[in-house]
Structure 1
Amino acid sequence: MTRIVRFYEHGGPEVLRIESVDLAPLNAGEVRIRVKALGLNRAEALLRKGTYIETASLPSGLGLEAAGIVECVGEGVEGIAPGDAVSVVPPLSMVRWPAYGERATFPAELVVKHPASLGWEEAAAVWMSSLTAYGALIDVAKLARGEFVVVTAASSSVGLAAIQIANAMGAIPIAVTRTSAKRQALLEHGAAYVVAFEEEDLAARLRDIAGGQGVRVVLDPIGGPIFEPLTAAMARGGILIEYGGLSQRPTPFPLAEVLAKTLTLRGYLVHEVISSPTRLAAAKAFVLEHLAMGALRPVIAKTFAFDDIVAAHRFLESNEQFGKIVVNV
């Protein structure tokens, strides 16, 4: 028997239950991990509430990121052996491959022997944020040295990873956040500039920073009313990559800016990278190289015990965190 987290109805954090279950036997190509730490993501809160892009079949497990020790491997698995310290690239389906548990099973191609320099908490916090930022900025936008890049929700784990990747590429990251409360922390974590959009004229401030040339690349998980000032500050031929929809307000389509500047507004899911063996291999190589260099380093906001998974989800939805929330198992 092993303890896992499941929910039987959609709702708030309180619907999460810890239960003891028998895990199914391993199939060919699978790896079972004794989980040491879990990384939490907003996608898991959305699945729990019934508003995620994937539909849960109740009762449902959940979870996208884990790190731990390999217990056993299925037939045909090569390059991974019991006793290896590993972390997990988020699967395409957390309903099929849920991470929240003392033990969890994943496809072998998503299991990575992480650098020895990473502890369990950092290893559990690497892949979703790094792959999301890499896929958007490098794979899609082709971010170049010397370019300005706007990163909204900058204190999130993806935002901080994007700032680190921008700096590694020699680009200039502009962190956009709601208020000035996290300004100093963002500067200390690599932002070249910080703009608080509730306290400043976002478009004017971005244009001032970019010196009139505009910003070519914008990475945004918010949508809503900031779409218009963001596009107003963009350069001709720029690209705005939208990877979420945190705002509860309507997102206007900035038709005049899109036409006048021939802008690209591009929806993006990390699944694009994960589902392509070629793109995933390139992404893994980039992340592992930059982890080894120290250019990428997960920022841990707060840790919780496995038995406190409900409290961890409450904190996840508080918007108070700076970086990644991790659960020790």
Structure 2
Amino acid sequence: MRAARCEEYGGPEQVVVREVPAPEVTPGHVLVDVAAAAVNFPDLLFIADRYQVSVGLPFTPGSEFSGTVAAVGEGVVGFAPGDRVHGSVVTGAMAEQVLAPARSIAPVPAGLSMVEAAAFRVTYLTAYHALVTAGAVEPGQWVVVLGAAGGVGTACVDVATRLGARVIAAASSPERLQVATKLGAEAGIDYVAEDLKTRIKEITGGAGADLVVDPVGDRWAEPALRAIRWGGRFVTIGFAGGEIPRIPLNLVLLKNVTVRGLELRTWVERLPEENARAREGLAQLVADGMRPLVSEVHELDDVATALRRVAERIPTAKVVISIGAEEKQ
């Protein structure tokens, strides 16, 4: 089968397309013919060997995929060859076939194309957990989303507005803020040109944010935390800005702020009941018309370009790699 391969740690240019052996079906796993795979920021960290865990060389990048079940391993129930599924793995999705634990895949929600389904599971499951499971968001509350034009950011804006929250989108340019506005954000902050803390306070009438969802980190985490109301919540889900922030804990103490970390890989492994509820909630939102925003679709041979564009923060929503034939709806 054809697969993207990282043979040396480094940048996106290290990723090439090779012929590699197809995975063998093992107990508890499902073999999927991949239709599409999404590009996520952690893919770049794995390629650079900068993620929290290291993956040995060579490997196939990609965590998020959609496709059709080709075979099921011993002990797997609920899936059969031909089923339309989407799912996630640590690495391995950017290939014509992927072997995934049965717990890590789910049926494609009715109404989603394969490209949309590939862009859905990781970002939208992350967004739902950040907002609901960790963030305990309620209708009418102020939610600040940092990096609001990225893959996870757009998902957070989309889900939050559909749950009735009042969203303040924060991004690095007016053009990127327009993306969040179209998804329902009530206000926007260009955090390169504006003071993030001051603007959050102004928009909320001085009260501060009820919840901050932060996939960016870097120098924007602390001012966002300072703009949270007493008793608010801060959920950290990544560091796309580059630097891991060091937060003064006296801010957490004095404002009685709840800080939660969300790393989806371990949440899926350790919180099966919460994940089931999140999937049910997302399926209902899809039934009500929610669709992931996809800004670019690249062919597998163009995978290095797709990765480079995400590394340079050019896209304004999810980037997807088309690998197999798109199933007609």
Give the TM-score normalised by structure 1.
0.93
> How far does residue 148 in structure 1 lie from its aligned partner after superposition?
0.2
Listed as ranges, the gaps of 5+ residues in structure 1 are: none
Aligned to 2:256: 262
Q: What is the RMSD of the two structures over their aligned residues, measured on CA atoms?
A: 1.6
- Check if 1:212 corresponds to 2:211: no
- Check if 1:124 corresponds to 2:118: yes
Aligned to 1:47: 46
Following the alignment from structure 2 to structure 1, what is the Cα–Cα distance between the partners of residues 86 and 59? 22
> How far does residue 18 in structure 1 lie from its aligned partner after superposition?
1.5
CA contact (8 A) 1:301 1:324 kept: yes
Listed as ranges, the gaps of 5+ residues in structure 2 are: 324-329
Aligned to 1:281: 276
Following the alignment from structure 1 to structure 2, what is the Cα–Cα distance between the partners of residues 190 and 279? 26
Following the alignment from structure 1 to structure 2, what is the Cα–Cα distance between the partners of residues 123 and 305? 16
Aligned partner letter, 2:287: A
Aligned partner letter, 1:173: V
Aligned to 2:326: none
> How far does residue 223 in structure 1 lie from its aligned partner after superposition?
1.9
1:24–1:299 Cα change, 3 Å: closer
Query: What is the SS of the residue equivalent to 2:306?
Result: helix
Query: What is the SS of the residue equivalent to 2:99?
Result: strand
Aligned equivalent of 1:290, options 269, 285, 288: 285
Following the alignment from structure 1 to structure 2, what is the Cα–Cα distance between the partners of residues 64 and 45? 11
CA contact (8 A) 2:131 2:156 kept: yes
Aligned to 1:165: 159
Runs of 4+ displaced beyond 4 Å = none
Superposed CA deviations along residues 93-151 of structure 1, whole A, max 9, x for unmatched, are: 32xxx111111111122221212311111010001111111111100111011100000
Larger relative contact order (C-alpha < 8 A, sep ≥ 6)? 2
Query: What is the SS of the residue equivalent to 1:86?
Result: strand
CA contact (8 A) 2:23 2:97 kept: no
Query: What is the SS of the residue equivalent to 1:257?
Result: helix
Count, aligned residues: 322
Aligned partner letter, 1:140: A
Aligned to 2:191: 197
1:189–1:29 Cα change, 3 Å: same
> How far does residue 86 in structure 1 lie from its aligned partner after superposition?
1.3
Query: What is the SS of the residue equivalent to 1:304?
Result: strand
Query: What is the SS of the residue equivalent to 1:260?
Result: helix
Following the alignment from structure 1 to structure 2, what is the Cα–Cα distance between the partners of residues 126 and 151? 18
CA contact (8 A) 2:157 2:180 kept: no
Following the alignment from structure 1 to structure 2, what is the Cα–Cα distance between the partners of residues 196 and 154? 10
Aligned partner letter, 1:17: V
Aligned to 1:226: 220
CA contact (8 A) 2:30 2:99 kept: yes
Superposed CA deviations along residues 61-98 of structure 1, whole A, max 9, x for unmatched, are: 2211111111111222222111111111x23x32xxx1
Following the alignment from structure 1 to structure 2, what is the Cα–Cα distance between the partners of residues 282 and 249? 33
Give the TM-score normalised by structure 2.
0.93
Following the alignment from structure 1 to structure 2, what is the Cα–Cα distance between the partners of residues 36 and 12? 25
Aligned to 1:59: 58
> How far does residue 271 in structure 1 lie from its aligned partner after superposition?
2.6
Q: Percent identity?
A: 32
> How far does residue 221 in structure 1 lie from its aligned partner after superposition?
1.7
Aligned partner letter, 1:50: D
Following the alignment from structure 1 to structure 2, what is the Cα–Cα distance between the partners of residues 249 and 285? 34
Query: What is the SS of the residue equivalent to 1:118?
Result: coil
Please identify, of 33-42 and 246-255, the stretch whose mean Cα deviation from structure 2 is larger: 246-255
- Check if 1:304 corresponds to 2:303: no
Query: What is the SS of the residue equivalent to 1:70?
Result: strand
> How far does residue 171 in structure 1 lie from its aligned partner after superposition?
0.9
